Amino acid sequence: LEAEVARAGAVFKGWRVVPTDDRVCGQLAKDTLPQVEQLFVEAGEGQDAEAFTLALFLARRRAEQALRDVPGDFYVVTLAPHAIGYKGMVLPDKLGTFFPDLQRSDLAASAVVFHQRFSTNTMPRWPLAHPFRLLAHNGEINTIEGNRRWAQARSKVWKTPKFDIAEFDPIISMHGSDSQSLDNMLELLVAGGMELIQALRILVPPATQSLEFKDADLAAFYEFHGLNTEPWDGPAGIVSMDARYAVCTLDRNGLRPARWMLTSDRHYIVASEAGVWEVPAERVVRKGKIGPGEMMAIDLKRGDLLDSEAVDRINRGRAPYKQWLHQGVTYLETELIDPSLAEEPFDEGTLRSYHKLFQLSTEEVESVLRPLAETEQEATGSMGDDTPMAVLSQRTRPLFDYFRQAFAQVTNPPLDPLREDCVMSLSTQLGRETNIFHAAPETVNHIILNSPVLSQRKLRQLVRSAPYDRLHAQIDLSYAPEEGLKAGIERICREAEQAARDGMVMLLLTDRYPVRGRPMVHALLATGAVHHHLSDKGLRCDVNLIIETGTARDAHHMACLIGVGATAVYPYLAYQTLFDLGRRGILKLKKGGEVTQIGRSYRKGIYKGLSKIISKMGIATIASYRAAQLFEIVGIDADVVKLCFRDTHSRVGGVGFARLDTEARELERAAWNELRKPEVGGLLKYVHGGEYHMFNPDVVMSLQKATRTGEQADWQAYADIVNHRPPSALRDLLKLKPAAVPTPLDEVADARDLLRRFDTAAISLGALSPEAHEALAIAMNRLGGRSNSGEG
């Protein structure tokens, strides 16, 4: 650290051991107690305050980089001219005892940031105590995985004259605390030349698409910067301070509280609740709360208090953003639609072949696609899925079935996509990302869509309009049987890389043109693999991935593709199927509806489904969900995950490239076999000869018989059916291992004690019925266990 301080042009003056009192520490804190020292540095010759601040930032980051692989924790709390940091793994009221410095009357400051934090998602560690170098954060960044990966991808694109960003790899923390990564990104933007109130507004923007948002110039500020970065989304109350500003801001939903108070002696107090600092009522001049998406700031240089409107006035005046967007952005919905570009319909034989190739069953057409087109929303179904997990199924299941959506939990609320629609956005931009530090009109050359789900006309217009008519490449997803699936995916990645190096901006990954004898790489495998490959090569920000696929039909399919990196999706087979139903008069369209509106109605239903999926994770914008990989994979081999879905949660292995290759070949052969009919289905509802259901008619009837007769033989018949069913859940793969040496009976717990540990699932009375609730309660009372049902 001393060497890097000197290298940055500053002057090292010495060290001071900071006195501490560990009697207030808990056991974990004592076991990991660090040596705390303060470094004293002077500005070098000719360094003004700004240059000195930058020199200390560079010295710290370079030292961290050099010591990254050295055993033991090396952590710099703060290294800046404007602040001294005291933090630790102690109770909040014990901080002053642990650091006797804080009790000294000669230690004074004009601004203080304090935050007491209790870990929810990470194990407590001294370096993770708040505040960090620039901010303290109350909340959770739900999109953190995607934010981290996009930050790393952009490290090859972002440039600043102040320092070489590429010198730091990674540019932000890729693991651990979400607050730490957010602080790293904020610090990078500020060090690169942005003001704190600008950088924080870019990272945590308000809901600009709200109907109440009527400031076009301010909206242009957010839209301009949104072309080059996505929001760090999630509940957030943030306080931050640098040499110029002290700031507090809330997320767009206002999911964390912040109250403020201004006193007659010009103290400005912001805290999560009123009363944190006792102030006599006669000294209170004004007080209030910070609203959703608002920011309050103090200009420490001028001594001015800036409300949210004043901050916004400064930001929107930095450049003529509205004029630049008007010159460089095309809004596809209003300007580019050409009615002559509708797709030619498939004939009946072609449509049947596509249904077989992409596993579109009659059941899915009737129960999934038809409701989307007829009602503009997803079909309603009952809770529960009694079919085998995809990896355990005896049938070939769509790859999407191996992906389970993540959802918000712990202290983290989901959103309501119906009542909070005003803060949600599916807006999607197409175009090459540019340097966020270089705000200029030439960096704006984009097309903005109202959602990532394309219509037939939009896709065709995109690839025929300047400049994308010459800046797009089509990559076929089929592969030769002798090539094999894995090699086929790797070849597709190389083709995508070459297209990006050739200056293409739009890569169209398509399975639209199958050829007899060539199996298809599943669009999900190709999308994830290409996204990661281009990110590794520093090319991901140069291109957009458009997925033209027959595999995607419902909102979960779309979410999977977008979640692993797709910019937009064109579900052509869904359209072809619905238009076929419309031509044959099968669809029951809304009153006054026309066949030409089928696609629009379908997309409206998909929009609602996508909003529901991202809202479950507490995310408001599709831009933040893209490539965040917010899934858990159940049943895919580690080699497949490593190549196509790297870093996605996957705790259970399963199908590998060999089985996926075999399934792709079988589907290809079936597609061209005129004697094979499309699958009837049986996934959503039991069908004889279809997918196995754990509550199939045999199970239900045998249980009913056993309860009617009360005969042991009838109960045993029911038990045999259940115990010998095909493996359907992970627990079916578990077996009790006999003990090598029998345990003496006097060491075995009494059966009555064991039974007290059992309980039934928590199900509400409304979902059960009074009879079922009472039966469970009676049974558990007899056993001595606990009935957990009847809530509500």
* Angle between helical axes of 216-226 and 321-328 (0-180°, round to 10): 60
The answer to whether residues 157 and 292 belong to one domain is yes
pLDDT number for residue 334: 45
Domain contains 1: yes
Specify the amino acid at residue 458: K
Q: Which two tokens stand for residue 748?
A: 């075995």
pLDDT number for residue 791: 65
4-8, 211-215, 545-549, 551-555 — which is least confidently predicted? Answer: 211-215
The C-alpha angle 80, 81, 86, rounded to 5 degrees, equals: 60
The average pLDDT across 624-628 equals 96
The answer to whether residues 100 and 121 belong to one domain is no
CA distance 290 to 258: 6
Q: Is the peptide bond prior to 170 cis by the omega test (within 30 degrees of 0)?
A: yes
**DSSP character string of 204-250:** S---TTSTT---HHHHHHHHHHHTT-----S-EEEEEE-SSEEEEEE
pLDDT digits (tens, 9 = 90+) for 681-699: 999 999 998 999 999 999 9
Quote the strand ranges of 20-132, DSSP E: 37-42
233, 564, 593, 647 from 145: Cα distances, Å: 11, 11, 42, 9
Domain boundary among 109, 128, 163: 109
The average pLDDT across 744-769 equals 87
> Is the pLDDT score of 53 beyond 50?
yes
Q: From the centroid of its chain, how far is CA 667? A: 32
pLDDT number for residue 335: 46
Indicate the length of the chain as a whole number.
Answer: 792
The answer to whether residues 231 and 85 belong to one domain is no
Those residues with Cβ within 8 angstroms of residue 646's Cβ, 6 or more apart along the chain or in another chain:
528, 532
The answer to whether residues 168 and 38 belong to one domain is no
The answer to whether residues 243 and 279 belong to one domain is yes
Q: Which helix (H) or strand (E) holds 524?
A: helix 523-536
Select the more confidently predicted residue: 456 or 344: 456
- Note whether 351 and 584 are within 8 A (CB): no
CA distance 776 to 785: 10
Q: Which two tokens stand for residue 354?
A: 């596509």
Cα torsion angle, 718, 720, 721, 723, sign: positive
pLDDT number for residue 211: 43
Domain contains 383: no
pLDDT digits (tens, 9 = 90+) for 723-752: 999 999 999 999 889 889 989 999 999 988
Domain contains 684: no
The answer to whether residues 164 and 310 belong to one domain is yes
118, 618, 731, 737 from 299: Cα distances, Å: 30, 32, 60, 68
Percent residues over pLDDT 90 in the chain: 79
The answer to whether residues 519 and 660 belong to one domain is yes
The answer to whether residues 458 and 532 belong to one domain is yes
- pTM for the whole structure: 0.92
Domain contains 221: yes
Torsion of CA 299, 304, 310, 316, to 10 degrees: -40
The average pLDDT across 756-774 equals 85
Q: What is the largest CA-CA distance in the chain?
A: 96
* Angle between helical axes of 523-536 and 144-154 (0-180°, round to 10): 50
Q: From the centroid of its chain, how far is CA 240? A: 24
Q: Which of 106, 107, 87, 83 is nearest to 98 (CA)?
A: 87
The answer to whether residues 645 and 774 belong to one domain is no
The average pLDDT across 280-289 equals 95
Quote the strand ranges of 216-357, DSSP E: 236-241, 245-250, 259-263, 268-271, 284-289, 295-299, 304-306, 329-331
619, 697, 779 from 772: Cα distances, Å: 37, 19, 11
Cα torsion angle, 118, 409, 648, 614, sign: negative
Beta pairing, strands 295-299 & 472-476: unpaired
> Is the pLDDT score of 259 beyond 70?
yes
pLDDT number for residue 421: 87
pLDDT number for residue 199: 98
The answer to whether residues 628 and 705 belong to one domain is no
**What does the mean pLDDT of the chain come to?**
92
Of the CA atoms within 13 Å of residue 430, those in its CB half-sphere come to 33
pLDDT number for residue 710: 92
> Is the pLDDT score of 510 beyond 90?
yes
Which residue in this structure is represented by tokens 């939990």?
409
- The domain that contains 221 carries what CATH number? 3.60.20.10
Sheet holding 506-510, edge to edge: 472-476, 506-510, 544-548, 568-570
Q: What are phi and psi of 458, to 5 degrees?
A: -65, -45
Q: Which of 544, 542, 401, 530 is nearest to 476 (CA)?
A: 530
State the pLDDT confidence band at 342, using cuts at 50, 70 and 90.
low
> Is the pLDDT score of 411 beyond 80?
no
The average pLDDT across 775-782 equals 91
pLDDT digits (tens, 9 = 90+) for 465-481: 778 889 999 999 999 99
Select the more confidently predicted residue: 110 or 71: 110
pLDDT number for residue 69: 85
The answer to whether residues 208 and 348 belong to one domain is no
pLDDT number for residue 195: 97
Q: Which residues span the domain enclosing 67?
A: 1-109
Select the more confidently predicted residue: 791 or 247: 247
207, 388, 559, 630, 634 from 613: Cα distances, Å: 19, 23, 7, 10, 18
pLDDT number for residue 208: 84
Percent residues over pLDDT 70 in the chain: 96
> Is the pLDDT score of 180 beyond 60?
yes
Q: How far apart are the first and last CA of the chain?
A: 61
Q: In the 8-state DSSP scheme, what is residue 176?
A: S
Q: Which two tokens stand for residue 275?
A: 């009363």
The answer to whether residues 415 and 492 belong to one domain is yes
Radius of gyration of the chain (CA): 30
The average pLDDT across 107-129 equals 85
pLDDT number for residue 324: 96
- Note whether 260 and 289 are within 8 A (CB): yes
pLDDT digits (tens, 9 = 90+) for 297-338: 999 999 999 999 999 999 999 999 999 999 999 888 644 455
- Note whether 500 and 542 are within 8 A (CB): yes
412-426, 526-540, 667-681 — which is least confidently predicted? Answer: 412-426
pLDDT number for residue 333: 66
Domain contains 371: no
The percent of the chain in helix, strand and coil, each rounded to the nearest 5, is 40, 15, 45
pLDDT number for residue 343: 64
The C-alpha angle 449, 455, 456, rounded to 5 degrees, equals: 130
**Residues facing 241 on adjacent strands:** 246
Instruction: Say if residue 334 is exposed, middle or buried (CB neighbours under 10 Å; 0-12, 13-18, 19+).
Output: exposed
Domain contains 625: yes
State the pLDDT confidence band at 260, using cuts at 50, 70 and 90.
very high
Q: Which of 628, 607, 625, 620 is nearest to 555 (CA)?
A: 607
Quote the strand ranges of 492-593, DSSP E: 506-510, 544-548, 568-570
Q: In the 8-state DSSP scheme, what is residue 786?
A: B
Domain boundary among 57, 85, 109: 109
Domain contains 379: no
Number of domains in the chain: 5
Label each residue of 604-653 as H, E or C.
Answer: HHHHHHHHHHHHHCCCCEHHHHCCCCCEEEEEECHHHHHHHCCCCEEEEE
CA distance 366 to 255: 40
> Is the pLDDT score of 634 beyond 90?
yes
The average pLDDT across 182-198 equals 97
